């Protein structure tokens, strides 16, 4: 028996994957995606965009309307969940409160009828793998949040999955624990070298964790890329707004995105700089954030129909703000360098 439990990772590919529930728009609409072996992939998007449905179809907990799911080039679309080589980790870890850590980890082996000695040896080996060996006899209520997460991880690994699927595992935790736990998840993923597919609606969480981010909207994929690519080059207005930290501006050159920290701000009535990369605006909000101050602004000339581009934001360092504090009601001049603006494609569909 292998007690060192060295998982072998696999790539996941979905081809033309679609899920329809009833008559309306599909929950997942003909998506194509390849997730490389050993990578940390986050499926990101607003509530209802189809993240969980996609994950459940990969897990085999949801049937597929059309399309295929491949694990290392093997078509697993019709296989039962237990035969796929995937495992699922659920929100708040979903440990059985009345069972010890060891019994939690060994549970699925017990269901399979594996003899007691063998299943305990394997479960103990996995608890040791996640540095929880000495806590095997504790119940979840006697463990910290971080320790519970490690038990949940050991339990998910008991059947030697090649891909771990995580559906909002951190969403029900308090903010402090959530940030600690995501650092742990990231560390374990690297250490195990296993493919992780993690569903979240939090941009911050996805950016902190992912090698590759998949931004979804209304059942479709809007953009796939590294956190750096997606944050710095959102392809369209939907991604720019969903990721945050961007202004969407209508310029004579078309619609562009400019990061809130890449906009210069000057006080008072400045002569026009003679190029299109500037705008007058009125400060509507000043929010102190510690290291930064976030200014909310409104374009005084924007028509009502262009409402979505009339609300602007500028992020200043605290030092810059202290040099020259701005206050609500002030008229200012905003400008940006040509290289700070990048073109946004038309949204495929209206943002939800």
| Partner that binds at residue 53, options Mg ion, ligand ADP, none, CB closer than 5 to 8 Å by kind | ligand ADP
Closer residue to ligand ADP (CB): 55 or 283: 55
3-state secondary structure of 288: strand
Residue nearest to Mg ion (CB): 52
Closer residue to ligand ADP (CB): 50 or 125: 50
Closer residue to ligand ADP (CB): 53 or 104: 53
Footprint on this chain of ligand ADP (rule: CB under 6 A): 21, 27, 45, 47-53
Closer residue to Mg ion (CB): 52 or 124: 52
| Partner that binds at residue 197, options ligand ADP, Mg ion, none, CB closer than 5 to 8 Å by kind | none
Secondary structure, 3-state, 185-217: HHHHHHHHCCEEEEEECCHHHHHHHCCEEEEEE
| DSSP state for residue 242 in the 8-state scheme | H
Q: What are phi and psi of 3, to 5 degrees?
A: -90, -15
Footprint on this chain of Mg ion (rule: CB under 5 A): 52
Closer residue to Mg ion (CB): 201 or 342: 201
Partners of 68 in beta bridges: 15
Interatomic CA distance for residues 350 and 333, integer angstroms? 30
| Partner that binds at residue 96, options ligand ADP, Mg ion, none, CB closer than 5 to 8 Å by kind | none
Alpha helix segments (H runs only) across the chain: 51-59, 101-111, 116-129, 145-157, 175-192, 203-209, 227-232, 237-243, 307-310, 318-323
| Partner that binds at residue 48, options ligand ADP, Mg ion, none, CB closer than 5 to 8 Å by kind | ligand ADP
Rg, the chain, Cα only:
24
Interatomic CA distance for residues 278 and 295, integer angstroms? 16
Closer residue to ligand ADP (CB): 44 or 95: 44
Q: How far is the CB of 147 from ligand ADP (least distance, A)?
A: 28
Q: How far is the CB of 47 from ligand ADP (least distance, A)?
A: 4
| Partner that binds at residue 69, options ligand ADP, Mg ion, none, CB closer than 5 to 8 Å by kind | none
Q: How far is the CB of 77 from ligand ADP (least distance, A)?
A: 18
> What are 119's two structure tokens?
């299943």
Q: How far is the CB of 300 from Mg ion (least distance, A)?
A: 40
Closer residue to ligand ADP (CB): 55 or 143: 55
| Partner that binds at residue 49, options ligand ADP, Mg ion, none, CB closer than 5 to 8 Å by kind | ligand ADP
Interatomic CA distance for residues 207 and 230, integer angstroms? 9
| Partner that binds at residue 21, options ligand ADP, Mg ion, none, CB closer than 5 to 8 Å by kind | ligand ADP
Closer residue to ligand ADP (CB): 55 or 123: 55
Interatomic CA distance for residues 69 and 158, integer angstroms? 23
Interatomic CA distance for residues 86 and 162, integer angstroms? 6
Residues 6+ apart with CB under 8 A from 228: none
> What are 161's two structure tokens?
């999955």
Q: How far is the CB of 173 from ligand ADP (least distance, A)?
A: 18
> What are 175's two structure tokens?
């903010």
Pairing of β 74-75 and β 220-225: unpaired
| Partner that binds at residue 119, options ligand ADP, Mg ion, none, CB closer than 5 to 8 Å by kind | none
């Amino acid at each position: 028996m292998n007690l060192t439990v060295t998982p072998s990772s696999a790539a996941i590919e979905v081809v033309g994957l679609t899920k329809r529930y009833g008559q309306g728009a599909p929950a997942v609409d003909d998506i194509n995606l390849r997730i490389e072996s050993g990578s940390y992939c986050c499926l990101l998007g607003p509530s209802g965009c189809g993240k969980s449905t996609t994950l459940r179809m990969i897990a085999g907990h949801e049937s597929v309307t059309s399309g295929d799911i491949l694990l290392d080039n093997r078509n697993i679309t019709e296989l039962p969940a237990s035969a796929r080589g995937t495992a699922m980790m659920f929100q708040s870890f979903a440990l059985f409160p009345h069972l010890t850590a060891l019994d939690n980890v060994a549970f699925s082996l017990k269901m399979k009828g594996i003899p007691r000695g063998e299943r305990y040896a394997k479960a103990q080996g996995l608890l040791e793998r996640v540095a929880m060996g000495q806590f095997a006899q504790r119940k979840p209520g006697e463990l910290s949040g971080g320790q519970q997460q490690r038990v949940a991880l050991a339990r998910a690994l008991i059947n030697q999955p090649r891909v771990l699927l995580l559906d909002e595992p951190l969403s029900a935790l308090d903010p402090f624990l959530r940030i600690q736990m995501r650092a742990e998840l990231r560390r374990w993923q690297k250490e195990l070298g296993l493919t992780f597919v993690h569903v979240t609606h939090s941009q911050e969480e996805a950016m902190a964790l992912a090698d590759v981010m998949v931004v979804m909207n209304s059942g479709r994929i809007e953009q796939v890329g590294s956190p750096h690519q997606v944050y710095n080059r959102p392809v369209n207005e939907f991604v720019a707004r969903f990721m945050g930290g961007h202004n969407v501006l209508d310029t004579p050159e078309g619609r562009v995105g400019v990061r809130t920290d890449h906009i210069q701000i000057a006080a008072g009535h400045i002569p026009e700089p003679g190029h299109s990369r500037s705008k007058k605006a009125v400060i509507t909000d000043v929010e102190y954030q510690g290291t930064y101050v976030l200014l909310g602004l409104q374009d005084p000339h924007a028509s009502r129909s262009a409402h979505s581009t009339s609300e602007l934001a500028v992020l200043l360092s605290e030092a810059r703000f202290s040099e020259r504090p701005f206050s609500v009601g002030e008229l200012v001049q905003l400008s940006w360098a040509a290289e700070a603006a990048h073109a946004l494609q038309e949204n495929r569909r209206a943002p939800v």
